[in-house]
Chain A
């Protein structure tokens, strides 16, 4: 559109002036993009890739989609080892309802990040009806330090202001992340900005869209890996070496106290808000277990039993599920392959999730979670809630 006036540039050239129609048009286009982003199905617009961006995807799904019926939180072990579609299929068959099962497993997430995720769920009113919380001994390795930048992905300005325990330098370091989170809460085009880049990459064939486990899909890229048992000697050595690089623990080391405190905070929140929660152990290969000091396992199981009783949260060990996982079920020392994920998920669904979610005495029936026998979950009266995980259960296990 021609303008009626003009202005001069620094070199004297006459430039178009007057009403900035092109600028107004650009704003209109951006508004139209924002409307389209808000109307599109979440899985089409929320970017999903591995690594750090996985944490953003979790925040984005919780922000946009809200509460799942069953939500799994944990590390990449959960991302690879829990098949959300299978949980949905089996649970829907029992309940006859359409359900949303979300796998919020994220690379390297331990108690600090999981605590941030659970507290983000609380703030966003996006707590699942049943929260499945992954636990495993390596998550308490002493070498793990507080991952501030990952934790801050789940922070708003309020959290940042309240984080007085951080040094000024740490606060400044994560301030840009928090500011971007605040902008992203209001402007979804900005929040999902990576999706435009991925879309361009997909259009020119440099990458393909990945199914997001937090949307209830299978992590197909992980499940395409060959089994650990069938790996060549060279590949096996490489995988074990990689495992050792991240999980080498001093023979005298004890559980990481900071991470224990982070988990305790999450459990206190769960008890205060009466969040139905189950702690489930993710399996390791015998190879991985042999690399960790034996007392580390003893400390871990003692801590989980203590948490279970203190906070009234059932703790499910692998042996409680009645399955034995071998190297055939793993892709590497600590991640299940498709076969292993299906086996673990089926056992967990049948023995824990269905009894917790459906039928007489379940959460749907107004009950609360409780261990009876070894793993069966049934209801008790509200005032008995703190008795979950009674002595009989512990003795049974021992």
Chain B
């Protein structure tokens, strides 16, 4: 993304601060979820880097992988957005 002026860049930063980030920041819970997910992703990436193996998760012992898969499915169930607005293309 390229900005033609400092004003344009500032508008974007303000938009993030007053919009997306503000929405997350108004709820400590939402912010915590985002941070936890970020930490999880970072952990996997660090493990991949450390082991020099993109498939490091797939080489974990079976019981751990099974637990990770099951937890993933439960998290998907529980944190899914079920009652939001329709996908924008279906709203018109």
Q: Decide if B58 touches A28 in the complex (CB within 8 Å).
A: no
Q: Mark A209-221, 1 if CB is under 8 A from B, else 0.
A: 0000000000000
Q: Which of B37-68 contact A (CB under 8 A)?
A: 53-55, 58-59, 61-63, 65-67
B89 at the interface (CB under 8 A from A): no
Min CB distance A298 to B, Å, is: 39
Cα distance A21–B28 in the bound complex, in angstroms: 38
Q: Decide if B77 touches A13 in the complex (CB within 8 Å).
A: no
- Contacts A180-B82, A196-B77; is A26 near B54 (CB within 8 Å)? no
Q: Decide if B55 touches A173 in the complex (CB within 8 Å).
A: no
B78 at the interface (CB under 8 A from A): yes
Q: Decide if B32 touches A206 in the complex (CB within 8 Å).
A: yes
CB-CB nearest in chain B for A31:
B70
Cα distance A13–B54 in the bound complex, in angstroms: 9
CB-CB nearest in chain B for A21:
B62
Q: Decide if A25 touches B63 in the complex (CB within 8 Å).
A: yes
Q: Decide if A197 touches B58 in the complex (CB within 8 Å).
A: no
Q: Decide if B69 touches A23 in the complex (CB within 8 Å).
A: yes
Q: Is the interface of A mostly helix, strand, loop or mixed?
A: helix
Q: Mark A176-212, 1 if CB is under 8 A from B, else 0.
A: 1100100000000110011111001100101100000
B16 at the interface (CB under 8 A from A): no
- Contacts A197-B79, A206-B29; is A25 near B54 (CB within 8 Å)? no
- Contacts A13-B54, A206-B29; is A193 near B78 (CB within 8 Å)? yes
Q: Decide if A16 touches B66 in the complex (CB within 8 Å).
A: no
Q: Mark B64-88, 1 if CB is under 8 A from A, else 0.
A: 0111011001110111101100100
Question: Which residues of chain B come closer than 8 Å to A176, judged between CB atoms?
Answer: 82
Question: Which residues of chain A come closer than 8 Å to B32, judged between CB atoms?
Answer: 204, 206
Q: Decide if B67 touches A29 in the complex (CB within 8 Å).
A: yes
Q: Decide if B28 touches A206 in the complex (CB within 8 Å).
A: yes
Q: Decide if A29 touches B29 in the complex (CB within 8 Å).
A: no
Q: Decide if A16 touches B78 in the complex (CB within 8 Å).
A: no
Question: Which residues of chain A come closer than 8 Å to B69, judged between CB atoms?
Answer: 22-23, 25-26
Question: Which residues of chain B come closer than 8 Å to A24, judged between CB atoms?
Answer: 66
Q: Decide if B70 touches A29 in the complex (CB within 8 Å).
A: yes
Question: Which residues of chain B come closer than 8 Å to A22, judged between CB atoms?
Answer: 62, 65-66, 69
Question: Which residues of chain B come closer than 8 Å to A180, judged between CB atoms?
Answer: 82
Q: Decide if B66 touches A25 in the complex (CB within 8 Å).
A: yes
Out of B62, B74, B83, name the residue touching A33 (CB < 8 Å): B74
Q: Decide if B66 touches A194 in the complex (CB within 8 Å).
A: no
Question: Which residues of chain B come closer than 8 Å to A21, judged between CB atoms?
Answer: 62, 66
Cα distance A29–B86 in the bound complex, in angstroms: 33
Q: Which of B8-55 contact A (CB under 8 A)?
A: 28-29, 32, 53-55
Q: Decide if B70 touches A33 in the complex (CB within 8 Å).
A: yes
Q: Which of A10-55 contact B (CB under 8 A)?
A: 11, 13, 15-16, 21-26, 28-30, 33, 52
CB-CB nearest in chain A for B67:
A29
CB-CB nearest in chain A for B75:
A196
Min CB distance B25 to A, Å, is: 15
Cα distance A177–B70 in the bound complex, in angstroms: 24
Out of B55, B67, B78, B83, name the residue touching A196 (CB < 8 Å): B78
Cα distance A190–B59 in the bound complex, in angstroms: 29
A9 at the interface (CB under 8 A from B): yes
Cα distance A227–B65 in the bound complex, in angstroms: 54
A254 at the interface (CB under 8 A from B): no
A264 at the interface (CB under 8 A from B): no
- Contacts A1-B62, A193-B78, A206-B28; is A149 near B55 (CB within 8 Å)? no
B residues at A contact (CB < 8 Å): 28-29, 32, 53-55, 58-59, 61-63, 65-67, 69-70, 73-75, 77-80, 82-83, 86, 90
Contacts beyond the supplied A21-B66, A22-B66, A26-B66: 16 A-B pairs with Cβ under 8 Å: A1-B61, A11-B54, A13-B55, A15-B55, A25-B65, A26-B67, A26-B73, A30-B70, A149-B83, A173-B86, A190-B77, A193-B78, A196-B77, A201-B29, A206-B29, A206-B32
A-B contact pairs, 14 of them (CB 8 A): A9-B54, A15-B58, A21-B62, A23-B69, A24-B66, A26-B65, A30-B70, A172-B90, A189-B77, A193-B78, A195-B78, A196-B77, A197-B78, A200-B78
